[in-house]
Amino acid sequence: MRMPWPMPDDLTRRVALRVGFGGLGAALLPGMVPASAIRPPKVKTVIFLHQWGGPSHHDTIDMKPDAPMAIRGEYKPVASSLPGVPVCERLPQLAKVIDRFCQIRSLNHTMKNHNSAGYYSLTGMAPPSDDQRLRDSRDLFPAYGAIADRFAPPPAGVPGFVSFPHQIADGSITPGQHASFLGKAHDPLFVGLDPAQPGFKLPELSLPEGVDPARLARREEARALVEAQLGPLEKAPLARGIAEQHGKALALLGSAKVRNAFDLSKEPDHVRDRYGRTTYGQSCLLARRLAEAGCRWIQVYFNRSIGGARGGWDTHGFRGEAMYPILKDYLLPITDQTLPTLILDLEERGLLQTTLVVWVGEFGRSPRINNIAGRDHWPQCYPALLAGAGVKRGHVHGRSDKMGAYPASDPCRPEDLSATLFHLLGIDPATEIRDPLSRPLPLSPGKVIEGVLA
């Protein structure tokens, strides 16, 4: 059942008890309300831009021009719209809008493998081990979007959690991309298609071949005929649940709002061009359209694979995959075209008042350039960019040390970021959910990063 949003505190707590596999609830509930009472939500929509592979902070937004050559790298910083906060010369458009952002430069954790770190970055929950092929099992934590869908349900008729255009993997599927033990009802509406392709449309919202609307109406008539015989069974909770989902699916199928949101051909050419005619560019445009439609959590994955010539940010410098050419010709231009466009577009439409954009990977990259001219995994210190509702504008929270190796002030963990995001959505991070063994877990074990809040 959908709760009105935002939910009153006590209701949130009571609902929390029944979530997941709970049953035996009260025994573990602290008999008190935490000191930090929940403020009304400032954020209606989160656009979470996941930078798979792990972007280099030295070559983007946390440059170290005074460090030795082997650390500072090839690029120079240039002045930005935020005095005293330079940005990489290869990101000139981002430099112009960096005053809209709140940067965190002191994120850190200890997971050196993509899948474990990726899971951490998608859930805010530390993985059980640092495992290159961490298996996606149902006792692992739900994705942020699933929690948002559960505890800050979207308005009727729009999906709460939408993710696209990739399912990320490193050898095996990265955990943390679905609702896991929170229940499949909170899984994302996942669109594994390229929005940059002509004719892009949502298969779920397209009738199968040979079935026109008139035929669908006849089918529904046949279904109604059988349903009319259901009798008392109709009132069983599960039967109501199925009917509810069926109604929702039909509503989505018939809703111009959602279908239009997915129809990028409705967008003028100059806007599509501005975002860039790349998979990522058009995905960010789709994200803006879904934000307009009222979705709660929109997750865009930068790329399906960690690295390579046209992959994610994993720039070790392996043979045939030299780091600087990939940064120069692909990673940085795409980022510089799309991210500032998204921010400005949201701002122009007044959506940045209620939408929070988050740009973060699973870790950063090593300060020292390795002997094949690449940078390796570096979870000890890495950045995130936030912009929009609820967070400061033109602010840097936490500093890295002079090599960009470790936090020099205000270190933050992924769980602190998750607590902050939930808090901004009006969800108490201490809300308890139950894993498949009914063990109680808070939505986030971290602390809200007060320093970034507007």
Query: Side chain identity at 98, as an amino acid letter?
Result: I
Smallest gap from Cβ 182 to other proteins, in A, equals 10
Smallest gap from Cβ 441 to other proteins, in A, equals 10
Least Cα distance to 19 among 151, 193, 173, 165 occurs for: 151
Closer CB to other proteins, residue 335 or residue 431? 431
Smallest gap from Cβ 170 to other proteins, in A, equals 9
Contact residue for other proteins among 70, 211, 271, 372 (CB under 8 A): 211
Closer CB to other proteins, residue 70 or residue 185? 185
What H or E segment, with its residue span, contains residue 106?
strand 101-107
Closer CB to other proteins, residue 138 or residue 257? 138
Contact (CB, 8 A) for 257 and 275: no
Query: String of b and e for 287-320 (b: at least 16 CB within 10 Å)?
Result: bbbbbbbbbbbbbbbbbebbbbeebbbbbbbeee
Candidates 41-49, 203-211, 340-348, 407-415: pick the segment binding other proteins (CB under 8 A): 203-211
Binders of other proteins in range 33-62 (CB under 8 A): 34-35
Closer CB to other proteins, residue 70 or residue 250? 250
Record the tokens describing residue 354, joined without a space. Answer: 């209620």
Binders of other proteins in range 215-274 (CB under 8 A): 215, 218-230, 232-239, 241-246, 248-250, 252-253
What does the alpha-carbon distance between residue 205 and residue 262 come to, in Å, rounded to a whole number?
9
Q: Which residue has the tokens 């960009």?
A: 404
Smallest gap from Cβ 285 to other proteins, in A, equals 24
What does the alpha-carbon distance between residue 175 and residue 140 come to, in Å, rounded to a whole number?
7
Q: Name the phi and psi angles at 103, rounded to 5.
A: -95, 145
Candidates 16-24, 256-264, 272-280, 338-346: pick the segment binding other proteins (CB under 8 A): 16-24
Smallest gap from Cβ 157 to other proteins, in A, equals 12
Closer CB to other proteins, residue 411 or residue 440? 440
DSSP summary character for residue 389: T
Query: Side chain identity at 183, as an amino acid letter?
Result: G
Q: Is 30 in the site for other proteins (CB under 8 A)?
A: yes
Query: Side chain identity at 73, as an amino acid letter?
Result: G
Contact residue for other proteins among 1, 4, 27, 319 (CB under 8 A): 27
Q: Is 372 in the site for other proteins (CB under 8 A)?
A: no
- SS3 call for 407: strand
Contact residue for other proteins among 25, 86, 92, 394 (CB under 8 A): 25
- 69 burial type by CB count under 10 A (0-12 exposed, 13-18 middle, 19+ buried): exposed
Closer CB to other proteins, residue 68 or residue 171? 171
In sequence order, the 6+-apart residues with CB closer than 8 A to the CB of 319 are 372
Q: Which residue has the tokens 């307009």?
A: 292
Query: Side chain identity at 415, as an amino acid letter?
Result: E
Binders of other proteins in range 297-326 (CB under 8 A): none
Smallest gap from Cβ 253 to other proteins, in A, equals 7
Q: Which residue has the tokens 């679905």?
A: 178
Binders of other proteins in range 67-106 (CB under 8 A): none
DSSP summary character for residue 373: S
- 7 burial type by CB count under 10 A (0-12 exposed, 13-18 middle, 19+ buried): buried
Compute the half-sphere exposure of residue 148: CA atoms within 13 Å on the CB side of its CA.
Answer: 34
Closer CB to other proteins, residue 197 or residue 438? 438
# binding residues, other proteins (CB under 8 A): 84
Binders of other proteins in range 401-440 (CB under 8 A): 430, 432, 436-440
Binders of other proteins in range 138-177 (CB under 8 A): 138-139, 159, 167, 169, 171-173
Candidates 53-61, 132-140, 314-322, 334-342: pick the segment binding other proteins (CB under 8 A): 132-140
Candidates 31-39, 59-67, 103-111, 402-410: pick the segment binding other proteins (CB under 8 A): 31-39
Smallest gap from Cβ 279 to other proteins, in A, equals 18
Contact residue for other proteins among 1, 4, 10, 26 (CB under 8 A): 26
Closer CB to other proteins, residue 159 or residue 361? 159
- 157 burial type by CB count under 10 A (0-12 exposed, 13-18 middle, 19+ buried): middle
Contact (CB, 8 A) for 400 and 407: yes
Closer CB to other proteins, residue 203 or residue 350? 203
Binders of other proteins in range 266-295 (CB under 8 A): none
What does the alpha-carbon distance between residue 158 and residue 261 come to, in Å, rounded to a whole number?
10
Closer CB to other proteins, residue 325 or residue 436? 436
Closer CB to other proteins, residue 59 or residue 314? 314
- The rounded Cα 410 to chain-centroid distance in angstroms is 23
